[in-house]
């Protein structure tokens, strides 16, 4: 493909940043369009009382020296912040109130098996089968291997749910909950998610678990510097309202909400599929528009943000999952009660030599149904009855979390969010945290569209998380740049 094309990237999240850097690095004139005031809003986090809260990146796999995320960043020329490793003997800890168990998940497949056997000695075959299958599906996936010179494997487990896979191996509810707990980090019930999709997320932590020094904001800032170095035009506070094509169905212009038109030779859309449908009403077929709009959403959430004078010991080098019992269903219910959990708790990434105040984030179940009565309101203009609802929901979350983990009583909670906040902050129709669901019975959009010079990327296309969203950008850009060329360059990074 000729150099110097005018290419627009719609959406300035981590996928959009990645796509813009790929295209600019390969000699194209790139404009990155973002509706929010800043790029990377989800990953960027925020501060209260001079304390940072990492809202969008709690940890990731693939950040060891030869990990795929490290390769991606080297290829992009991003001078990434230092990676901070989570505890090898337990990057996550799952606590069950009904049994009193506190189960740590260590780094490494052998260590994982040994630790789980300490808690479930009668379940050796189930544990080994699960770890082996997760390792095979993740290690054989295109997430890793398409850029490492081999073909991604296809797995029969793409058509079986995580729940069905586990139920064939064991009837131990607590073990099933432990092996399913990371479903909270991609927002799809174990009864719906394909086992292979689960492996893309969960198994990425089994080899390594890191965050960046300074959290998601530090990564966004380094990527912004690289955008400037490559001459990418960044247009924040701008939104695309309409796609304009010629008689041959080639995309020629993007019309912005202010009426301005941007001429383009090609574009990559990284926004939510339903948002793309609104832009493309004039150019997409009705069946495709319906497909984009009818995709089910992943869960939303209520979030609490607190400050601790020192990092609580229970959060040093690890995250917490706090559960009343082994049932995770409340998290995925359309009538989820935020006060009943399960809860996910994380804190700011810090090196072992750092002390002082730290931000603590609690994520509780949430569904847009709980705030639908106020859906026509906007941030800063919420009615009083909504404010009362929010105050009560966040109070009950705090009480439940401290009851399940008394060590968190030292945290002073200073702010919070509901699914309504998530809708307005994340730009998703119903506040979903992870875009559209990936399920065993639903086909998600692929990068190719019926407009030959428009491609799709983002967490709704491949998988949520830093690894999945970055990979989707590489995949979409490969249709313009040539997959083999791009694959070879990444493999050498």
Q: pLDDT tens digits, residue range 435-454?
A: 999 999 988 999 999 999 99
pLDDT band at 349 (very low <50, low <70, confident <90, very high): confident
Largest CA distance in the chain: 66
| Confidence at residue 346, expressed as pLDDT on a 0 to 100 scale | 96
pLDDT in tens, 160-211: 999 999 999 999 999 999 999 999 999 999 999 999 999 999 999 999 999 9
**Nearest by Cα to 130 from 83, 181, 61:** 181
Query: 3-state DSSP call for residue 376?
Result: coil
Mode of pairing for the β-strands spanning 412-417 and 358-366: unpaired
Query: What's the rounded mean pLDDT across residues 419-436?
Result: 92
Give the rounded distance of the alpha carbon of 234 from its chain centre. 23
Give the rounded distance of the alpha carbon of 391 from its chain centre. 27
The Cα 248–Cα 245 span in angstroms is 8
pLDDT in tens, 117-147: 999 999 999 999 999 999 999 887 766 655 4
The Cα 220–Cα 266 span in angstroms is 25
pLDDT in tens, 364-414: 999 999 999 999 998 889 999 999 999 999 999 999 999 999 999 999 999
pLDDT in tens, 212-229: 999 999 999 999 999 999
CATH 3.50.50.60 fits 6-42+64-82+216-295+439-491, yes or no: yes
Least confident of 79-93, 132-146, 189-203, 281-295: 132-146
Strands ordered across the beta sheet of 240-245:
240-245, 251-256, 261-263
Under 8 Å between Cβ of 247 and 257: no
pLDDT band at 151 (very low <50, low <70, confident <90, very high): very low
Strands ordered across the beta sheet of 343-347:
102-105, 92-96, 319-323, 343-347, 358-366, 300-308, 412-417
Domains of the chain by residue range: 6-42+64-82+216-295+439-491, 107-202
The Cα 87–Cα 93 span in angstroms is 11
- What is the dihedral sign for C-alpha 145, 147, 150, 151? positive
Question: Is 148's pLDDT higher than 50?
Answer: no
């Amino acid at each position: 493909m000729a150099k110097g094309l005018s290419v627009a990237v719609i959406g300035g999240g981590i996928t959009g940043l990645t796509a813009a850097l790929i295209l600019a690095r390969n000699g194209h004139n790139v404009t990155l369009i973002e509706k929010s005031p800043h790029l990377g809003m989800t990953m960027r986090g925020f501060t209260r009382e001079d304390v940072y809260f990492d809202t969008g990146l709690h940890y990731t796999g693939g950040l060891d020296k030869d990990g795929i995320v490290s390769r991606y960043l080297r290829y992009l020329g991003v001078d990434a912040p230092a990676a901070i490793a989570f505890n090898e003997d337990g990057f996550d800890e799952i606590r069950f109130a009904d049994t009193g168990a506190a189960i740590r998940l260590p780094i490494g497949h052998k260590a994982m098996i040994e630790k789980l056997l300490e808690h479930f000695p009668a379940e050796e075959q189930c544990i080994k089968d699960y770890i082996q299958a997760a390792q095979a599906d993740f290690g054989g996936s295109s997430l890793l291997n398409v850029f490492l010179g081999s073909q991604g494997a296809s797995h029969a487990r793409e058509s079986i749910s995580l729940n069905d896979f586990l139920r064939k191996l064991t009837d131990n509810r607590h073990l099933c909950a432990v092996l399913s707990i990371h479903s909270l980090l991609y927002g799809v019930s174990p009864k719906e998610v394909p086992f292979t999709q689960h492996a893309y997320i969960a198994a990425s932590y089994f080899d390594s678990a890191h965050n960046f020094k300074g959290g998601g904001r530090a990564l966004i800032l380094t990527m912004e510097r690289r955008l400037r170095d490559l001459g990418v035009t960044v247009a924040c506070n701008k939104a695309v309202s309409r796609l304009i094509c010629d008689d041959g169905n080639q995309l020629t212009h993007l019309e912005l909400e202010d009426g301005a038109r941007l001429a383009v030779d090609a574009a990559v859309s990284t926004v939510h599929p339903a948002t793309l449908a609104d832009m493309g009403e004039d150019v997409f077929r009705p069946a495709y528009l319906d497909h984009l709009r009818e995709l089910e959403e992943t869960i939303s959430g209520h979030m609490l943000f607190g400050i601790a004078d020192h990092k609580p010991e229970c959060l040093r080098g690890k995250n917490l999952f706090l559960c009343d019992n082994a049932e995770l269903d409340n998290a995925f219910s359309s009538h989820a009660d935020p006060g009943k959990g399960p809860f996910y708790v994380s804190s700011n990434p810090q090196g072992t030599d750092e002390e002082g105040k730290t931000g603590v984030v609690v994520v509780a179940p949430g569904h847009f149904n709980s705030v639908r009565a106020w859906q026509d309101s906007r941030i800063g203009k919420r009615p009083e009855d909504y404010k009362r609802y929010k105050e009560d929901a966040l109070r009950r979350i705090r009480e439940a979390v401290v009851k399940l983990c008394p060590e968190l009583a030292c945290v002073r909670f200073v702010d919070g969010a509901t699914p309504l906040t998530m809708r307005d902050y994340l730009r998703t129709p119903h506040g979903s945290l992870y875009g559209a669901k990936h399920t065993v019975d639903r086909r998600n959009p692929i990068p190719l569209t019926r407009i030959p010079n428009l491609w799709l990327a983002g967490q709704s296309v491949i998988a949520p998380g830093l690894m999945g969203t970055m990979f989707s950008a590489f995949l979409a850009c490969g249709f313009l740049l040539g997959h083999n060329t791009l694959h070879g360059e990444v493999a050498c990074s």
